[in-house]
Each structure stands twice: as structure tokens, then as C-alpha cells.
Amino acid sequence: MEKIFDTTVIAIGPEAPAMISDANMLILFGAEAPEDLAEYCYKIDNKDLSGQIAKGGQLKVGEHIYPITAVGAVVDQNLKALGHITISLDGSSEESLPGTLHVQGDNNLTISEGTRIQILT
């Protein structure tokens, strides 16, 4: 698989871990995340996407690999422009919201500053 996105978590909002455990999702946002959203986000240092995210690809968070099951219509656009996507760990095969990336995962995921996040296709 080819790596099309590679970033590092640079800051963690105080509510971001609860979004994983309680809502089964995580929110990535570039360093310029709006203040009212920043508390729920994992801020990342890169928004360079070198390909198209597609179902069948993989999301790698640290050493954990999650199959991509559905891609919202504006996921690529939002990631490139803002470093922003919502990642739902629900394994849905159909997109729910245009900016949501669905992966087959679980909510036992722990992310810390310095965690590397990659997308492979």
C-alpha cells in the first residue's frame, strides 16, 4: 500500500479522549482549529494529502491499523484545506456525513502527543 497522508499529533483537547470512548469517534484538526472545537480535537501538524482516500485503504494510528470502510464526499477536501476530518470507528460501509471517514475499529484507542497517523491506499 502507498502512504498518502502522514501526520503527528501535536496537541490534544481535554475532551478528545472522551470522544473516542463515549462517541466512538475521533476528530483531527490542523493547528488552526477554532477555539470552540479545539477541546474535542487531536491537533495535527500536517494537512498534505498526496492521493485520494478510498474504501479498502487503511488508517494507521501509532501501530494500530484500521481498514477504511467508507469515505465521506468532502473528506479529502477538508483534510487538505483544514487538516480536519472526523474518524468514526463504527465500520459503516456507507458514509454518514460528508466529512466523516469510517473505519473498522474499536474505542480502546489511546492517542498521545507525538502519535503518528497515516493513511494508506
**Which sequence spans correspond to the domains of the chain?**
3-120
Q: How high is the pLDDT of residue 107?
A: 87
pLDDT attached to residue 23: 96
| DSSP tag of 78 | H
Task: Identify which of 76, 78, 74, 71 has the alpha carbon closest to the alpha carbon of residue 102.
Answer: 71
pLDDT in the model for residue 108: 87
Give the Cα separation of 118 and 58 in Å (integer): 8
Provide the pLDDT for residue 48: 93
User: Residue 1's pLDDT is what?
Assistant: 93
CATH class of 3-120: mainly beta
Exposed, middle or buried, 36 (CB in 10 Å: 0-12/13-18/19+)? exposed
Cα 62 to its chain centre, rounded Å, is 12
Residue 19 confidence (pLDDT): 97
Retrieve residue 60's grid coordinates.
494507521
Q: Report the pLDDT value the prediction gives residue 102, as an integer from 0 to 100.
A: 98
Q: What is the DSSP string of 11-60?
A: EE-TTHHHHHHHHSEEEEEETT--HHHHTT-EEES-----S---TT-EEE
Averages of pLDDT over runs of 10 residues in the chain (121 residues) are 97 98 97 92 95 98 97 97 97 96 93 98 95
